[in-house]
Amino acid sequence: METKELKLLLQLLGCPDYRGKIAAVKPTSGTKVSETQRFCRKLADRELVTLHEEIKKFKISPAGKTLLKADLENLPLSDAELTVLQVAAKGPSTPGDTKLPADQRQPVLLSLCDRGFLSAIERKIVEVSLSARGKEFLRDDYFDANARRNLQLNAQLLTNYVQFMRTWINSAPTPTPTPTPTPKAKPSDSELIEIIRKIDARLPTNNYTPIYHLRAEVQPPMMRDELDQALFRLIQDNKIQLSSLQEGMDYTDEQFAAGIPQEFSSPLFFIIVN
């Protein structure tokens, strides 16, 4: 991006609603209007600004000529639009040739051009505004490692940019805080029995539930040793039994490690509810 293009964007930040007349957004006091318009068109091609133009000279198009040859009573035209087409049919014209009130000329001319009944011979940019993409570009994307160019930006342009960023920050919605999940409560011994029964019914394991399924349900919040101690209490209360893993049974190393080790035999691996 050229330095003057950047300055033009920063000039816009100082205009009401980020929209200004050509004279108000000149990159420098010595920039010619024609040069400013060239910068505006280049920025518009990148969708960074929106152009607000006036038609200074126009002519009738082939579609307009065809329309005038139709039944005038059924034309899809207002009286003002018909007047403009009739004027243009005589040759290249200017807005003043239409004799319409000054505030009606441009809306009528632009409408007829947009519908293809007129062709603009000469357009003039009168105002330019910062587009939504332009705001995003200045806020999120623009980066210039050219320190020399940055030194060419005067205090007013930098002030415009700082104010623009402050306005955006102050208007940005406050992020909704992510609710902190409530920690799971550690199950009681009686709740452990119900969890084991539910696992057995879901799989089903015919009341021979591998302990790794229970660990997946309750660790966390329980620690491994806490669960082991709870299972031993349930054994003492005659609520469950634990059975060792038999040789030849096919389980992964991780599943095997979930059992409760025993010093002289295979780990306690299955839970049987009494």
Note the pLDDT tens digit of each residue in 50-96. 988 888 999 998 888 888 887 767 777 888 988 999 999 999 999 99
Same domain, 155 and 222: no
Angle between helices 224-236 and 211-218 in degrees, nearest 10: 120
Report pLDDT for 57: 92
Neighbours of 30 (CB within 10 A): 7
Mean residue pLDDT across the chain? 84
Tokens (6 digits) for 263? 């010093």
CA dihedral 245, 250, 252, 255 (to 10 degrees): -30
> pLDDT value at position 76?
76
Looking at the fold, whether 143 and 67 belong to one and the same domain comes out as yes
What pLDDT score does 181 carry?
67
> In total, how many domains does the chain have?
2
- 138 and 11, same structural domain? yes
Q: Are residues 163 and 209 in the same domain?
A: no
| Residue ranges of E strands in 61-151 | 118-130
Instruction: Specify whether 145 is located in the same domain as 42.
Output: yes
* pLDDT tens sequence across 140-184: 877 665 545 554 667 888 888 888 888 877 776 766 776 766 777
Domain-located, residue 179:
no
